[in-house]
Amino acid sequence: MLWTDKYRPQELSEVVGNKKEIKIITDWVNAWKSNDPQIPLLLVGPPGIGKTTLAQIIAKEFSEYIELNASDKRSQDVIKSTIGESSSSRSLFGDEYKLIILDEVDGIHGTNDRGGVKAIGEIIKSSKHPMILIANDFYSKRLQSIKPKCQVIKMKKSRWNSISALLRKIAQAEGVEVEPAALKEIAVKSQGDVRSAINTLQALADKDHTLNVSDVEGMVTKDTRSDIFNAITSVLKSKTPAHVKEALWIEEDPTLVMEYIAENIPREYKKKDEIKKAYDYISKADIFFGRTNVSRNYGYWKYATDFMGIGVSNSKHETYKKFTKIQTPTIFSTMSRNRGKRNLRDGIADKMTEKMHVSRAIAISMFPYLEIMFRNDELAWEISDFLELEDTEIKRFRSKKIPAKVVKKMEKQKAQMRVEERDRRAEELKNQMMNVIPEVEEPKEDALPFEIPGIGTSNAEEESVEEIEKETIEEPLPDLDEEIIEEKVEEKAEEKKEKKKTDKQVSLFSF
Partner 1 sequence: MSGPWVEKYRPQKLEDIVGQKQIVARLQKYVGEESMPNLMFTGPAGVGKTTTALALVKSILGEYWRQNFLELNASDARGIDTVRDRIKNFCRLKPVGAPFRIIFLDEVDNMTKDAQHALRREMEMYTKTASFILSCNYSSKIIDPIQSRCAIFRFAPIKAEEIKERLQFICENEGFETTDAGLDTIVYFAEGDMRKAVNVLQAAASEGEAITEDAIYEVVSKAKPQDIGNMINKALMGDFMAARNILRDTMVLQGTSGEDMVTQIYQDVSKRVIEGKMDANIYMDLIEAIAECDFRIREGANPRIQLEALLTQFL
Taking CB under 8 A as the criterion, which residues in 368-387 touch partner 1? 368-369, 371-373, 375-376, 379, 382-383, 385-387
Asked if 42 and 117 count as a contact pair (C-beta separation under 8 A), the reply is no
Query: Is 361 near partner 1 (CB under 8 A)?
Result: yes
Crossing angle of the two packed helices 272-295 and 254-268, in degrees rounded to 10: 170
Report the residue from 100, 228, 244, 349 that binds partner 1 according to the rule CB under 8 A.
349
* DSSP 8-class letter at 342: H
- 3-state class (DSSP) for residue 98: strand
Query: Is 350 near partner 1 (CB under 8 A)?
Result: yes
d(CA 21, CA 281): 40
Single out the segment in contact with partner 1 by CB under 8 A; choices: 215-223, 332-340, 401-409, 494-502: 332-340
Query: Is 125 near partner 1 (CB under 8 A)?
Result: no
CA angle centred on 44, ends 39 and 50, rounded to 5°: 105
Asked if 376 and 402 count as a contact pair (C-beta separation under 8 A), the reply is no
Report the residue from 109, 147, 360, 430 that binds partner 1 according to the rule CB under 8 A.
360
Nearer to partner 1, 67 or 378 (CB): 378
Single out the segment in contact with partner 1 by CB under 8 A; choices: 62-70, 77-85, 112-120, 264-272: 264-272
Report the residue from 338, 343, 392, 507 that binds partner 1 according to the rule CB under 8 A.
338
Shortest reach from residue 485's CB to partner 1, in Å: 9
Query: Is 292 near partner 1 (CB under 8 A)?
Result: yes
Asked if 104 and 134 count as a contact pair (C-beta separation under 8 A), the reply is yes
Report the residue from 126, 293, 392, 435 that binds partner 1 according to the rule CB under 8 A.
293
Going edge to edge, which strands form the sheet with 98-102? Answer: 64-68, 98-102, 131-135, 41-44, 151-154
Nearer to partner 1, 92 or 361 (CB): 361
Strand partners, 356: none
Using CB under 8 A, which residues numbered 268 to 287 contact partner 1? Answer: 272, 275-276, 279-280, 282-283, 286-287
Shortest reach from residue 326's CB to partner 1, in Å: 15
Asked if 237 and 319 count as a contact pair (C-beta separation under 8 A), the reply is yes
Asked if 71 and 108 count as a contact pair (C-beta separation under 8 A), the reply is no
Using CB under 8 A, which residues numbered 463 to 482 contact partner 1? Answer: 464, 467-468, 470-471, 474-475, 481-482
Query: Is 459 near partner 1 (CB under 8 A)?
Result: no
- 3-state class (DSSP) for residue 386: helix
d(CA 429, CA 449): 14
Report the residue from 334, 439, 446, 496 that binds partner 1 according to the rule CB under 8 A.
334
Shortest reach from residue 316's CB to partner 1, in Å: 14
Asked if 151 and 38 count as a contact pair (C-beta separation under 8 A), the reply is yes
Shortest reach from residue 96's CB to partner 1, in Å: 56
d(CA 270, CA 272): 6
Report the residue from 80, 90, 147, 355 that binds partner 1 according to the rule CB under 8 A.
355
Query: Is 410 near partner 1 (CB under 8 A)?
Result: yes
